[in-house]
Structures are given as structure tokens and as C-alpha cells.
Structure 1
């Protein structure tokens, strides 16, 4: 009984074309069927983001997770405070549909694992004192020789929760995940218990449920930086990065989407091969967001889905 990885994120949005442009500018590939946009990483056979058009405001519809032993999860959900529900209108009644104690909708399915990613032809290498690994070649090509950033896979999803540690309790008890780390009761990170990124689903404190960001892996920190700057130039919205997190250790660049939530490029995430051998840390708030990076935007952890008065309208 366990969640194995993140599969996809589904959002209700007011303007499908605007959303398609943002996510394709970020490097995803789009297929549109009526009022639904399917967005996936190039070369993958499954969606990573679904946009449902025609709604008055951006809102989290559900998250999808790959899991095994769905019968075991179904048995554990009610006693952990969740609810087994029917598939929402327009979605197949496959796998397992669950509402967590805060009303967030989760789809779990026994989808096959993604193929292993192929390493870059020239791996990222850093010359350090006493450790020279790159000789007689430049680390950097001329700018024009780099292709646009291309997300390789969806790594994790961060959602808002009115009860962060309560959400952790549900995801660990009912869905078989593990607590990786947290910062007080303000932000927490859960992982799969075997061969997992440091976090698969994370939670940030807010008055209600909502979507904060979706994060995609790219090859190396240079691509994080290049991709972030290029998407920012196209979106003309807010950003946070380039920087490095303390919790998870990954390099990051976040770009604000058309509705005030965020898209993250990441590289070099901590790996948890066996959660039973990992000791979660309760970090201080000074380490909750970054080890280093630029100043955090004032609305970086603002949940526009519950703040109707302050709905996002930045040009």
C-alpha cells in the first residue's frame, strides 16, 4: 500500500489559450480536445498537466498519483479521515478517487512506471579545489547553441493545506507515504518510501486547499537558469530564482503562471532510496524556503484560490 510517484495535476482555468501558451512556453507539449488541454513532457506517453477551460477562476481540481495496492489504500482511507468518492464528471472511473480530510481530490492509479531517463551526453561537472573533473574543455557553449529548456518529468506537486501536519498524517497513514522533512507546521514534504525524490507531494499552510506549484526536472543547474530566464521573458510575470533550497537541496527557478501560482524547473534533488533509513528534520523557518537565492516575492505563498478579494490580476 503505497504512493510511488506523482503523475499529474489538473486545474480549472478561465482561459485555456493563455494556459496552453504558458505551459508550452515552459517546454511541455499540448494536445487540445474541446475545453481540455493535455500537456506532457516531450517523449512521454502520459499527461503531466491537464487544464479544464471555461471556469471563472483558476482552481485545483485534483492531483493524480501512481500507487500500488489500491485495495489497501481504499481500506485505510476512511479510518484516516478521508472519503472514497466516485470519479468526477468527465473522468474515467478507473483506479481510486479519494477526498482527503480537507476536501482535496486525489486520483490514484496503478499506472506503469515511466522509463528511466537518459543521462545527458555531457554530464554536469564542477571543478573544485583538489577535485578537477573537467580539463581541456569549456563548461559552457555559446548561448545560441543551447536548445530551449525541455522538462524531462514531473517531479513533485506542492498544494496548500489548512492543516499541514494533518495532511502529512493522512498521506502517510492512508496513502503509505513518508515524511521527508518539514519546517514547523508551515511547510512539509512527503516522499515515496522506496527510491523517491526527496518530495513527491508537499504542503504549505493556507486558510484553504489550493495549488501552489508543479515542478519539473531538467538536466542540470544551467538548464534551470536558462529555462527560468527564458520563460520569465515570455510570461512577463513574477519569478523567484535562481537559487537552491535547503530542504531537498535542489536548484530552482520559479516562474509565476497566469493565475498567480507557480511553475518550477529543478535539478539535483536529494534522493531517498529507503525511507526507513531516513531521519526527517524539523527545520527552522529561516531554512523553510531557500539556502540562498534572491528575495522571496511577497505573494510567493499566497493562495489566490481562497482569497477571492485579492484574485491575481498582474499583467
Structure 2
């Protein structure tokens, strides 16, 4: 096993001020330093989103994946046979771990970093009264609004990126980096997990005519928090959204909010968990299940890759 989780993503963006507002409104702790914006989930002691300012348009710079250092030499050798290559760290980044480009030129940093501390369990577990199964008695499930704290992102769960060849991406990341294919929908979208103790997916690929960043997904406590946090960020951002809904693939509840550059930010909770990939059987779903089991209509540009579009996205929700 090489990769055990997604650690961070780094984007090049035109305007750090827009990113600082968006991620601040989303509940992150932010700081600016040397032309970059660093964002971390409250309660964590590390950054999980880095924005590099001054770019002509938004572009995925690289992904950082947590990896076992014992497997880095093997990963480098296998990557070469599968169309990737080992490379040096970009200027301004530490040359630790292993830096690779995948077969489509996407830059990936395999970092030897310690695991995050376990998340603190919720004080009141989410409980649903169902027909014939009453588990919450003698108390209200909901507090008044004035007594309810706004949900904050707890950790980065997964990243979805665009790929011009989803099958080839799956081959590279499973055979070279040690991930497992958890599920897919034809050759259009695929989801990959770690081999042990993993969310249903930590990295996913959607078909496009080039590479690019689609969304980062951040865990909150329960479905109520997904709804609250999504509604609050939507009101502050004034951009597009998709949700509240529930995925078939992964089973998680979701609410997506469009960021200032046309890509997406997801709050999620209640995702399937794969403790041992050897006991998991991947499913090839039909396209009707590729995005959601239920939810509102999908925005027209939800799977649009603005990084390869001739026209950049503008904050008003249309191309310029």
C-alpha cells in the first residue's frame, strides 16, 4: 500500500482576495503569506487547501496525497512504466517525498506526513425515528436557530479531478500508487479508495477533454450540518449550487457550492467506509446513478471543465 488518503490540493487562481472570502465564508481558518493563501479546517494543525495568486485563470497546480515512504521507490518505478514520470518539486515547494506527473501531465506530490488525529465524535449522534423503530425519545432533535452553531469543515475527505481518459487514470493510480477502484459509471466517472480503512473514495476522476480540478469535499457531522453549511455558504457566495441531495455511489449526503472560478466545493457526511478493500466488490453503475440517487436538477455546468475551456469562468456564472 502506498497512498492512504488525500492530504491537500493546490490551485493557481487570479485573485487571492476572492479565495480568502470564499474559504473564510466556508468555515476555514486562512492566512496569506508570500502570494499564497493557506486554508485549514478548524481544529487541524495543517493546511489542506493552498491558493497561489496571480494566475491568469484558475488551474489545478497539484494534489498532495499522504503516502507510506516505504513504497515511494516502487511507486516511482511503476509510474514510469504506466506513462507517468518522476519530477522535481515546483519552485517554492519542499522537495520531500515523491513528485510525479501522471500520464496526463497532472502533478502529484506523495508526501510522508503523519496521520491526522482521530475526529472527536459528536456529542449527540444523529438519530432518526422510523416506522417501527423509534430511537429518539423524550427530546427534540432540533434546537432553535439562535442556539445552533454553524457547521465547520472537519477534514478534507476527497478530491475529484477531470481526466481525458478515466480508464487510464484508474490504471495509473491503482497500479502505481496503490489505490483501489471502489466503483465507477462506465468510462465517465470512477472512484478510488485506499486499501485499508478508507472512505469510499479519496480520489475520483470525471471524463473531460483535459485535466482540471472539479471539487474538494469536506466532512461535516451530519445531514443537518450539510444543509445548514451549504445554505449559509450559498447565501454568502451568491453563486451556483447543487444540493441538498444524496449520492448513490458512496451513499453520502451532499451540497455543492460553486467557487469563484467555476469549480465546486462540497460539504458531505455519511459516506460508505471500506475497512478492507480485499472484501469490497466494485460496481459499474449506469449513468442514471453516476451523480445522485436523489436531489435537485444538476446545474448545466456541473461537469464543465473551465480549465480547458477557451473562455474563462466569471463570478456571475457565465463565460466571459
Structures share a fold, TM > 0.5? yes
Matched residue SS, 1:248: coil
Post-superposition CA distance 1:1-59 (Å, at most 9, x none): 42100000100000001001101100111011021111001111111100000111000
Q: Is the contact between residue 70 and residue 109 of structure 1 (CA under 8 Å) also seen in structure 2?
A: no
Q: Is the contact between residue 40 and residue 47 of structure 1 (CA under 8 Å) also seen in structure 2?
A: yes
Residue segments in structure 1 that go unaligned for 5+ positions in a row: none
Distance 2:306 2:193 in 1: 26
Report which stretch shifted further, 40-49 or 290-299: 40-49
Residue in structure 1 matched with residue 224 of structure 2 by the alignment: 222
Matched residue SS, 1:77: helix
Paired residues for 1:3-42 under 5 Å: 3-42=3-42
Q: Which of 183, 186, 190 in structure 2 is aligned with 1:184?
A: 186
| Deviation at residue 143 of structure 1 after TM alignment | 1.1
Matched residue SS, 2:169: helix
Post-superposition CA distance 1:233-272 (Å, at most 9, x none): 0000000000000000000000000000000000000000
Report which stretch shifted further, 61-70 or 303-312: 303-312
Distance 1:186 1:61 in 2: 23
Under a length normalisation based on structure 2, what TM-score does the superposition of the two structures give?
0.97
Q: Is the contact between residue 304 and residue 312 of structure 1 (CA under 8 Å) also seen in structure 2?
A: no
Q: Which of 207, 212, 215 in structure 2 is aligned with 1:213?
A: 215
Distance 1:258 1:236 in 2: 10
Distance 2:66 2:315 in 1: 34
1:58 corresponds to 2:58: yes
1:90 corresponds to 2:99: no
Paired residues for 1:67-106 under 5 Å: 67-68=67-68, 69-106=71-108
Distance 1:311 1:251 in 2: 27
Calculate the aligned-residue CA RMSD, in Å: 0.9
Q: Is the contact between residue 192 and residue 200 of structure 1 (CA under 8 Å) also seen in structure 2?
A: yes
Under a length normalisation based on structure 1, what TM-score does the superposition of the two structures give?
0.98
Residue in structure 1 matched with residue 171 of structure 2 by the alignment: 169
Q: Is the contact between residue 78 and residue 84 of structure 1 (CA under 8 Å) also seen in structure 2?
A: yes
Residue in structure 1 matched with residue 290 of structure 2 by the alignment: 288
Distance 1:39 1:102 in 2: 27
| Deviation at residue 310 of structure 1 after TM alignment | 5.2
Q: Is the contact between residue 215 and residue 265 of structure 1 (CA under 8 Å) also seen in structure 2?
A: yes
Residue in structure 1 matched with residue 242 of structure 2 by the alignment: 240
